[in-house]
Amino acid sequence: MSKDPISVPVKRRTILKAGLALGAMQVASPFVTKSLADEPVKIGLDNPATGTYAALGKNELIGCQLALEQINAKGGILGRKVELLVEDSTSGDAGTAVEKARKLIDRDQVNFLLGNINSALAAAMANVSYEKGVFHVVPGGHTDPITGANCHWNVFRVCNTTQMEANAVAGTLIKTAGKKWYYLTPDYAFGHTLQAGLEKAAAALGGTKVGGDLTPLGTTDFSSYLIKAQAANPDVIIFLQAGDDAVNALKQAVQFGLDKKFHLAGAQQELEVLIGLPPEARIGTWVFEWYWKQPNVAHVNDFVADIRKRSGGHVPTARTWFGYAATHTCALAAAAAKSLDAVKMAKAMQGFKLPPEVALMPDGAFYRAAQNQLIPDLYVGNAQAKGSDPEDLFNVTDVVKGITTAGTVEDTGCKMTWPA
């Protein structure tokens, strides 16, 4: 990303090396034994630290780290210290993400798996965690099937589905910007399902698709796509890119002057992207999944202050909250089940409501039973060049309750089966 607001170096294998050294000591001293309470509970994070989604991954990591500190300060998980083991999945290589997931599970013996930002990688990891029977939380991979047609009893998700995002913003876009939409869509699972969700939501309100293009992940030159979008003469050009791709696409659209002719908008938008854009490109109608400026919501100011201390003064983003909520979910599941058994924890989380200090939103958030999808609030509004703070770059005009956008479990296609 052109401007990386938060950068946290991670010594990925420090914890593991320490563990191996201890193992060697035990071999040398066969009469030294350790109780289970002395063994740490391990959470494995398999997420991008490099590539298009690196800045998003770093912010999810910061949220995980704060949650870990809070959990350990309160006695850990079931009285045991908690450790976070971090692997770089890359931003787009499913093979690497799967390899790292297997390493965390098989070699490092993690009790919980977290990841991934990239929806395709999250789906591939979910298949591994399901095979291994490991409790898995997806902080920020949005494609519908993860908690829909391909749902698993052990896989929970913090971020919204793409259909939820589409349902939240479609009405505002139709009302304020027009009914003819042209789509610029990243060519992988997240983009495909987000466009499908927007087409469905728009059609129900009289909206139509006048064209579209699929853009490869990592695209830097969007000029050919923007020329085609302009020729279609839509009311709205819909940008569905994320991370560095979104920065490049929107920056070039404004350089082409398309913002003077069309409404530039989309569904999911993120603070990392707005920070990376020049002020004149901070425009359009979007959905934020969490926003840091919520003056009347309990605990939000404390969370913002805690993150600022750890990030050089930067505010938390939705990604920061994803990592924070995902890590707390692990501790909450173990506490509710009074066990680290994955099946017992997953059953204990059916319908589980996050405590206010973790939910950090007006209407709270809960994991919907029989789907394992978190149902939170969504924040609809418009990007802004500047606000009351250098990182206040989004004006929330409507807080939408997630339950109004989520449809029914039957709508999602999730038919969850449990181990015998």
CATH, residue 281:
3.40.50.2300
| pLDDT higher than 90, residue 21 | no
Identity at 315, one-letter amino acid code: V
> DSSP states of 222-285 as a string?
-HHHHHHHHHH--SEEEE---HHHHHHHHHHHHHTTGGGTSEEE-SB--HHHHHHS-GGG--SE
- pLDDT for 171: 97
Mark whether 253 and 280 lie in a shared domain: yes
Structural domain of residue 329, as residue ranges? 14-160+297-376
In-domain check, residue 334: yes
Give CA–CA dist 226/231, Å, rounded.
9
In-domain check, residue 246: yes
Give CA–CA dist 94/39, Å, rounded.
31
Mark whether 96 and 72 lie in a shared domain: yes
**Mean of the pLDDT values across residues 229-236?**
98
Mark whether 175 and 319 lie in a shared domain: no
Identity at 197, one-letter amino acid code: G
Number of domains the chain is built from? 2
In-domain check, residue 56: yes
- pLDDT for 34: 57
∠ CA 191-195-198 to the nearest 5 degrees?
140
Mark whether 126 and 179 lie in a shared domain: no
Mark whether 83 and 152 lie in a shared domain: yes
| pLDDT higher than 90, residue 76 | yes
Mark whether 129 and 167 lie in a shared domain: no
Average pLDDT, the chain: 93
Tell me the percentage of the chain whose pLDDT exceeds 70: 91
166 CB-near residues (< 8 Å, 6+ apart): 194, 197, 198, 200, 201, 267
Q: What are the structure tokens assigned to 188, written together?
A: 């992988």
In-domain check, residue 412: no
| 41 in Cβ contact with 77 (< 8 Å) | yes
| 242 in Cβ contact with 268 (< 8 Å) | yes
Phi then psi for residue 111, to 5 deg, are -85, -25
Mark whether 74 and 213 lie in a shared domain: no
In-domain check, residue 263: yes
In-domain check, residue 418: no
